[in-house]
A and B are shown apart, each in its own frame.
Chain A
């Protein structure tokens, strides 16, 4: 077992873990493991684009202890729970999701953790939720929308601090199923580069089919 990023561990079978913020409690029936006096939660890369990016050896993620995070497309909170582990008790995760049904599950999870603020809103309309947030150190987005890069840039412009990091997971099929994924990725890259510095880029195949992830830094 070794640490590869702040609060992210990998064991010798290549499985990822984060330190459990609520020892003894699991979120999606993941395995728990003791290491060095702390309890770790296994992080399934097939259920998380962020974990998949780490497995594909992304060079930086720019996420640390105590960070404040805006997470767009939080769903039931599988990945959010690991981000909550990573930023720790002094961090904060705004978990934004527009489908009430899945957010309901996330609220139950969030109440056990004390560092998550759930928000029901459309990521495409920051003007409907800017009054619920503070400036953040990190923006993560995983939503299947046609204009996902525009949404990402809009939110970074409003909520991400200078020099803050952002991560965008792109699902090529939800932009245009008739186009080749590689063509879509390069279009997204061009759009992002207008406002952000692209630090790294990884295709997530075969862990997540037709997905790629961009790590960006705010200029």
Chain B
């Protein structure tokens, strides 16, 4: 006799692989093992018997659908780990940056028909928003100009631009809030990665990898090139120069390094990030400050 248990329940099969007894909806393996002597458990090592049991399961179509649907919902629920919230947050910050840039560019274009000197003299975006709210007269005095290339307009022309500026300003605020939130999330979930990579770069690496688990599984050489996928692909396909860094290019220790030593800096940092991600994944201690010191020391000579 054979014993077969699966997601549906437990089945006792006779020599000819016909169902002799069954219990659906629970695991009755132990019970049946006690009840029947000389019973052999079917598992994946005995493919012939397994296939015979699997034939019998064809009669249980609606149970298979019901049970699998139930299980899959639970599985999907359990797959949601907190690091996915880091990924969503950094992606939101990226999106906010894009939206802010796009709208600011539009506002500059628009405002410049009224007061082009403001856009010309204030390259900083956030500061420019302030000038949109200022009286044209006052701003001209501040810039030290007597005549503007833009025509004077009544307030009803200016107000719509000012209200857009206010909206953009609030997007900056939104971004700031999300960055703070991101920092606290990372303190909880991957403090070691954060210590070495910094909040934004660390989160970006996680986002490209997809999760902390995936980041942890990458070799350091892959971490070094995360964000440079296109260049890497080109390198393999056409023999173009191999990239030396991706996201890590923005790391201050890479920026600080001499031009010809930036690749090495990225490698040293990637090494430690790789280690840090493993420690974080397995919820180890905080050693981020120690690791960062080691990086700095290595890069100093």
Interface positions of A (Cβ within 8 A of B): 68, 92, 94, 100, 103-104, 107, 110-111, 114-120, 126-127, 130-135, 157-159, 161, 177-178
Interface 9-residue window, one of B50-58, B143-151, B168-176, B276-284: B50-58
The reply to whether A134 and B69 form a contact with Cβ atoms under 8 Å apart is no
Inter-chain contacts of A119 with B (CB < 8 A): 68, 71-72
Kindly state whether residue B16 has any CB partner on chain A within 8 Å: no
The reply to whether A107 and B73 form a contact with Cβ atoms under 8 Å apart is yes
Given A107-B73, A130-B54, A177-B237, 6 other A-B contacts at CB below 8 A?
Answer: A100-B80, A107-B72, A110-B69, A117-B68, A131-B7, A134-B60
Inter-chain contacts of A135 with B (CB < 8 A): 51, 54-55, 57-58
Report the minimal beta-carbon distance from B104 to chain A, rounded to whole angstroms: 32
Kindly state whether residue B75 has any CB partner on chain A within 8 Å: yes
Inter-chain contacts of A177 with B (CB < 8 A): 233, 236-237
Q: For the complex, what is the distance from the CA of A161 to the CA of B61, rounded to whole Å?
A: 16
Name the CB-closest residue of A to B57. A134
* Chief secondary structure at chain A's binding surface: mixed
Q: For the complex, what is the distance from the CA of A111 to the CA of B75, rounded to whole Å?
A: 16
Inter-chain contacts of B61 with A (CB < 8 A): 68, 92, 134
Q: For the complex, what is the distance from the CA of A104 to the CA of B80, rounded to whole Å?
A: 11
Inter-chain contacts of A159 with B (CB < 8 A): 54
3 residue pairs, one from A and one from B, having the closest CB atoms: A134-B57, A131-B6, A100-B79
The reply to whether A132 and B65 form a contact with Cβ atoms under 8 Å apart is no
Report the minimal beta-carbon distance from A100 to chain B, rounded to whole angstroms: 4
Interface positions of B (Cβ within 8 A of A): 5-7, 44, 47, 50-51, 54-58, 60-61, 64-65, 67-69, 71-73, 75-76, 79-80, 233, 236-237
Inter-chain contacts of B64 with A (CB < 8 A): 92, 94, 117, 132-134
Q: For the complex, what is the distance from the CA of A145 to the CA of B298, rounded to whole Å?
A: 38
Report the minimal beta-carbon distance from A83 to chain B, rounded to whole angstroms: 15
Q: For the complex, what is the distance from the CA of A133 to the CA of B5, rounded to whole Å?
A: 12
The reply to whether B72 and A103 form a contact with Cβ atoms under 8 Å apart is yes
Q: For the complex, what is the distance from the CA of A172 to the CA of B37, rounded to whole Å?
A: 52
Which interface residue of B47, B60, B69 has the most chain A CB atoms within 10 A?
Answer: B69
Name the CB-closest residue of B to A93. B65
The reply to whether B75 and A100 form a contact with Cβ atoms under 8 Å apart is yes
Name the CB-closest residue of B to A117. B68
* Chief secondary structure at chain B's binding surface: helix
Which interface residue of B51, B68, B75 has the most chain A CB atoms within 10 A?
Answer: B68
| 6 chain-A/chain-B pairs, Cβ below 8 angstroms | A92-B61, A92-B65, A131-B7, A135-B55, A158-B50, A177-B236
Q: For the complex, what is the distance from the CA of A135 to the CA of B50, rounded to whole Å?
A: 10
Inter-chain contacts of A131 with B (CB < 8 A): 5-7
Cross-chain contact of B55 among A94, A100, A110, A134 (Cβ < 8 A):
A134
The reply to whether B44 and A127 form a contact with Cβ atoms under 8 Å apart is yes
Q: For the complex, what is the distance from the CA of A110 to the CA of B72, rounded to whole Å?
A: 11
Q: For the complex, what is the distance from the CA of A134 to the CA of B4, rounded to whole Å?
A: 12
Report the minimal beta-carbon distance from A205 to chain B, rounded to whole angstroms: 17
Q: For the complex, what is the distance from the CA of A216 to the CA of B178, rounded to whole Å?
A: 52
Q: For the complex, what is the distance from the CA of A50 to the CA of B58, rounded to whole Å?
A: 25
Q: For the complex, what is the distance from the CA of A117 to the CA of B80, rounded to whole Å?
A: 21
The reply to whether A104 and B76 form a contact with Cβ atoms under 8 Å apart is yes
The reply to whether A111 and B69 form a contact with Cβ atoms under 8 Å apart is yes
Report the minimal beta-carbon distance from B209 to chain A, rounded to whole angstroms: 14
Inter-chain contacts of A68 with B (CB < 8 A): 58, 61
The reply to whether B65 and A157 form a contact with Cβ atoms under 8 Å apart is no
Q: For the complex, what is the distance from the CA of A118 to the CA of B76, rounded to whole Å?
A: 11
Q: For the complex, what is the distance from the CA of A100 to the CA of B163, rounded to whole Å?
A: 42
Q: For the complex, what is the distance from the CA of A7 to the CA of B47, rounded to whole Å?
A: 33
The reply to whether A158 and B71 form a contact with Cβ atoms under 8 Å apart is no
The reply to whether B68 and A130 form a contact with Cβ atoms under 8 Å apart is no
Q: For the complex, what is the distance from the CA of A131 to the CA of B68, rounded to whole Å?
A: 10
Inter-chain contacts of A132 with B (CB < 8 A): 6-7, 64, 67-68, 71
The reply to whether B236 and A157 form a contact with Cβ atoms under 8 Å apart is no
The reply to whether A116 and B72 form a contact with Cβ atoms under 8 Å apart is no
Q: For the complex, what is the distance from the CA of A103 to the CA of B75, rounded to whole Å?
A: 10
The reply to whether A118 and B72 form a contact with Cβ atoms under 8 Å apart is yes
Report the minimal beta-carbon distance from B187 to chain A, rounded to whole angstroms: 25
